[in-house]
A and B are shown apart, each in its own frame.
Chain A
């Protein structure tokens, strides 16, 4: 148990240091002055620049520069943006929260849509409903997410006028920034028109969430279908039927749990795809998330923002995947088997 934990922790630390080294070297790879690329402070600003040169030990060896860069990262000095002049730590936290919020709702939706349909298809293996769901999922899986998003906009925003096509909430609502998660912030705020704001934010969420969820749900559908087919054909299910349990009892007591366990690790691996899709969808729906921010930063050659944004995204993905992997190993008896055997 402790061994698994340690192994994951060392993996995390090692990969994170490689990532930070990469982000540090980006400052030298981008054109211009490395210190300016690291901090966002231009050399014209004499006073601030020389102060920063001291705190980043820019005249020391590369290793000492890297070490002090790490130190600055840990205390939250991520530099300032070239284009807005605001501290990047705050900017990135804001946009990352928006991206996580969107991805989380999309993930929940993907499960709500994908899992039941996957079970239906699995239980109806080789029947017409299975084939139609499977082909629908193949179509859904092959649709590029940006195209789907545009089609949804075309139908539900421009033609029907049901949903707005940009942003997280109507700009007339001035929601004070607290957690960065819009729905939570609305609930925490003391606005007089809270319910209107909440409803407005929900309407803004529908199309971007759906665009990501539809694509992700096809993966959920296919994974769960496979798992259900395997489980339902296994010996213990046949045995359960033989003992005279009704098919409802068999499914609920033995089928569902056993089918779900192998799904989870497969789906965790889809997290990166989900986040990539979210970043694409963000730019289409002008969602103020990290994907949108990174694209803007690239357009505007905002090197400190590109560096910090990339680091933040990769740290997020890495931490999530490694901790999910750890969790799965801890809860899944089959994967833990080698450990148990040696213990």
Chain B
């Protein structure tokens, strides 16, 4: 057969197609993202339940809404934790600490979108509407979208505020039932956002109240554009934002639940930043030149709490001896892979109440054994360690940590059994106080140290199930309450320092670690900071 010649055109034809394909690829390689419109893509981990953080404490909802779409009266400085003016340009606290007067900022524009055009700027009415919505049960918007305001109720803010009054268009007066110096900090959390009263009014007239949380209007640096479930959320620049901001035109949340896919997209440049890189991926990110991994101690603490209502753990000397028997640094290496810092007190270094010079007890098995024998704990004493069945930011592997502690305790003649249940049962039994000791921890959303001291160790917190040591000390409670009577940080810090010392002396719990928080992004992104006080902030983020 002599069909040879005909064969070759066909072959070269397909080769041509192949080479065309790779030509497209070749051009692409030199300019991976250059031809893209101006904007930032953040690969987030899931769908938000709504666009209103008042309704939901989940980080997914907070990340997309709190700092992007809305503003608060006050803000935290993410570096120092200091409270900064937000929509309130200044504020006054009365002598008795009961009345707060906020002077509101003028010329603050709400978002103008396809579904709402504001006719007026931000005023005191918007503050009243936003707070009354969660505060007053009979408010027309209170039951909208379920009527549950979990974070606000957990802080008891709705009981704390007795009245909110509009003094004039740009001045609001809030009266409290009792003085509370953490009040300002609570107003700066992700959940105390300001909604538009005018938009609410308009929706009310059309009987479409539910849209307020789905098609949000705020004063934040980005306005809502569109949301496609399981795919993306598109936010666009708010051109009349009142603050300085980056020139980023669009902010997109690319919804990518799989963490390996998020990393892959970060590597190919399809994402500029990703949510929650997994611990196993951290080294891959560190090794790559084009990626940056920020790490910072988070607002959390992992600890080993002793049940102080059960003998012999009611004896502070025994608790100290047990704490002394364990090498904290080894635990940090093995459990956190070095991605945490050792804890000396219950507040992390990001909090202003942190005491760098605090004297803690050190690992000393010989002294520990001696102290145990002095307190009648004989060789072969049996105790249990409860280990959480789940992974938490403050303790990624409690079971493994319990096994390590078990080995340390064997060296001082204590036999430890490890106990674990399914998470819900575990917490229920923990609340009943059935444990000898437990490995657990705490994450705070609020820059105020009261958010650590009060729930973790006060007498009241035993009933609410956050005081795992079941430790009740009048001295400690007084210090924590006294601290709230003062407003200056220096004065409050004095009481917190004394509380720290008391905790070390009595050792109701052994603080182990403050785990890091991570943020991974591409090297051409600037202005992205870890916000230890909650949700991610894109206001100042821009791409080169």
Partner among A81, A119, A199 whose Cβ is within 8 Å of the Cβ of B7: A119
Question: Nearest Cβ distance between residue B40 and chain A, in whole angstroms?
Answer: 9
Indicate whether A188 reaches chain B with its CB closer than 8 angstroms. Answer: no
Indicate whether A52 reaches chain B with its CB closer than 8 angstroms. Answer: no
Question: Nearest Cβ distance between residue B528 and chain A, in whole angstroms?
Answer: 17
Give residues 10-41 of A contacting B (CB, 8 Å).
Answer: none
Indicate whether B118 reaches chain A with its CB closer than 8 angstroms. Answer: no
Given that A172-B252, A196-B35, A206-B21 are contacting pairs, would A165 and B28 also be in contact in the complex, using a CB cutoff of 8 Å? no
The CA of A158 and the CA of B264, in the complex, are separated in Å by: 7
Indicate whether A164 reaches chain B with its CB closer than 8 angstroms. Answer: yes
Interface size class of B (residues with CB under 8 A): 35 or more
Interface centre among B5, B10, B261 (most CB of A within 10 A): B10
Indicate whether B278 reaches chain A with its CB closer than 8 angstroms. Answer: no
- B130 — which chain A residues lie within 8 A by C-beta? none
- B7→A124 contact, CB < 8 A: yes
* Count of chain A residues near B, Cβ 8 A: 46
Q: Which residue of B lies closest to A174 (CB)?
A: B234
- A196→B3 contact, CB < 8 A: no
The CA of A170 and the CA of B40, in the complex, are separated in Å by: 11
Question: Nearest Cβ distance between residue A319 and chain B, in whole angstroms?
Answer: 28
Indicate whether B113 reaches chain A with its CB closer than 8 angstroms. Answer: no
Question: Nearest Cβ distance between residue B416 and chain A, in whole angstroms?
Answer: 41
Question: Nearest Cβ distance between residue B168 and chain A, in whole angstroms?
Answer: 41
Indicate whether B477 reaches chain A with its CB closer than 8 angstroms. Answer: no
Partner among A123, A166, A202, A286 whose Cβ is within 8 Å of the Cβ of B24: A202
The CA of A196 and the CA of B232, in the complex, are separated in Å by: 21
- B127 — which chain A residues lie within 8 A by C-beta? none
Question: Nearest Cβ distance between residue B544 and chain A, in whole angstroms?
Answer: 15
Give residues 265-281 of B contacting A (CB, 8 Å).
Answer: 265, 267-270
- A247→B1 contact, CB < 8 A: yes
- A117→B25 contact, CB < 8 A: no
Given that A112-B14, A165-B265 are contacting pairs, would A247 and B2 also be in contact in the complex, using a CB cutoff of 8 Å? yes
Question: Nearest Cβ distance between residue B68 and chain A, in whole angstroms?
Answer: 16
Indicate whether B6 reaches chain A with its CB closer than 8 angstroms. Answer: yes
- B250 — which chain A residues lie within 8 A by C-beta? 172, 174
Indicate whether B231 reaches chain A with its CB closer than 8 angstroms. Answer: yes
Given that A171-B232, A202-B24 are contacting pairs, would A120 and B268 also be in contact in the complex, using a CB cutoff of 8 Å? no
Indicate whether B380 reaches chain A with its CB closer than 8 angstroms. Answer: no
- B234 — which chain A residues lie within 8 A by C-beta? 171, 174
- B32 — which chain A residues lie within 8 A by C-beta? 161
Q: Which residue of B lies closest to A248 (CB)?
A: B6
Q: Binding site of B, secondary structure by majority: helix, strand, loop or mixed?
A: mixed
The CA of A200 and the CA of B24, in the complex, are separated in Å by: 10
- B25→A288 contact, CB < 8 A: no
The CA of A251 and the CA of B2, in the complex, are separated in Å by: 11
- B270→A84 contact, CB < 8 A: no
- B14 — which chain A residues lie within 8 A by C-beta? 112-113, 116-117
Partner among A153, A170, A210 whose Cβ is within 8 Å of the Cβ of B36: A170
Give residues 215-259 of A contacting B (CB, 8 Å).
Answer: 232, 247-248, 251-252
- B37→A193 contact, CB < 8 A: yes
- A84→B268 contact, CB < 8 A: no
0/1 string, B72-114, CB within 8 A of A gives 1 = 0000000000000000000000000000000000000000000
0/1 string, A126-168, CB within 8 A of B gives 1 = 0001000000000000000000000001001110111111110
Give residues 434-453 of B contacting A (CB, 8 Å).
Answer: none
Indicate whether B56 reaches chain A with its CB closer than 8 angstroms. Answer: no
Indicate whether A8 reaches chain B with its CB closer than 8 angstroms. Answer: no
- A163→B3 contact, CB < 8 A: no
The CA of A93 and the CA of B10, in the complex, are separated in Å by: 38
Q: Which residue of A lies closest to B21 (CB)?
A: A206
Give residues 512-535 of B contacting A (CB, 8 Å).
Answer: none
The CA of A86 and the CA of B231, in the complex, are separated in Å by: 14
Q: Which residue of A lies closest to B227 (CB)?
A: A84
Indicate whether B29 reaches chain A with its CB closer than 8 angstroms. Answer: yes
Indicate whether B229 reaches chain A with its CB closer than 8 angstroms. Answer: yes
Q: Which residue of B lies closest to A252 (CB)?
A: B6
Q: Which residue of A lies closest to B27 (CB)?
A: A199
Partner among A163, A174, A200 whose Cβ is within 8 Å of the Cβ of B35: A200
The CA of A84 and the CA of B250, in the complex, are separated in Å by: 23
Indicate whether B230 reaches chain A with its CB closer than 8 angstroms. Answer: yes
Q: Which residue of A lies closest to B236 (CB)?
A: A174
The CA of A232 and the CA of B29, in the complex, are separated in Å by: 45
Q: Which residue of A lies closest to B258 (CB)?
A: A286
- B268→A161 contact, CB < 8 A: yes
- B36→A116 contact, CB < 8 A: no
Indicate whether A296 reaches chain B with its CB closer than 8 angstroms. Answer: yes
Question: Nearest Cβ distance between residue B38 and chain A, in whole angstroms?
Answer: 8
A interface vs B, CB < 8 Å? 81, 83-84, 86, 112-113, 116-117, 119-120, 123-124, 129, 153, 156-158, 160-167, 170-174, 193, 196, 199-200, 202-203, 206, 210, 232, 247-248, 251-252, 286, 288, 296
- Provide a sorted-by-A list of 20 A–B residue pairs whose CB atoms are within 8 angstroms: A112-B14, A113-B17, A119-B7, A123-B7, A158-B267, A160-B25, A162-B25, A162-B26, A165-B270, A167-B270, A171-B254, A172-B37, A174-B234, A200-B36, A203-B24, A203-B25, A210-B21, A232-B1, A251-B3, A288-B231
The 4 closest A-B pairs by CB, nearest first: A116-B10, A196-B35, A84-B229, A162-B25
